[in-house]
Amino acid sequence: MLVVNPFSGRGISKYTMGTVISQFCGGGCVVTVYYAGEKTPEQIVYEYAKYHELVVCVGGDGTFSGIVAGLLRSGVSIPIGYIPAGTANDIATTLSL
């Protein structure tokens, strides 16, 4: 499950999605992409996480926070990946990513 916020940062994520998806597919993953927009990352994860084994965030701190909140609300326990694509990326900096 790849949750993308195409509005994060400078919009970098919308230009790099082909590379990101290719990397996951090359590693044997089946990727389902969900774009934040009409629904928030929290709503997307809350509704669809139960159908996946992993959720990967492509966005900034707010996108990551929404994904965590959605998982907590859903009660689903799956790993979270984070591809920082925000402006400041405070979470990534704090975690030395």
CATH number at residue 60: 3.40.50.10330
Average pLDDT, the chain: 90
Determine the pLDDT at residue 91. Answer: 79
Task: For tokens 């965030």, name the residue.
Answer: 57
Determine the pLDDT at residue 11. Answer: 66
Strands 55-59 and 33-35 turn out to be unpaired
**Contacts (Cβ under 8 Å, ≥6 apart) of 51:** 1
Determine the pLDDT at residue 14. Answer: 65
- The number of folded domains in the chain is 1
For 50-77, write each residue's pLDDT tens digit.
999 999 999 889 999 999 999 999 999 9
Q: Which domain holds residue 53?
A: 2-94
Going from the C-alpha of 36 to that of each of 14, 84, 97, the distances in angstroms are: 11, 15, 23
Which residues of the chain fall short of a pLDDT of 70? 10-14
d(CA 6, CA 76): 25
Task: Report which residue type is found at 26.
Answer: G
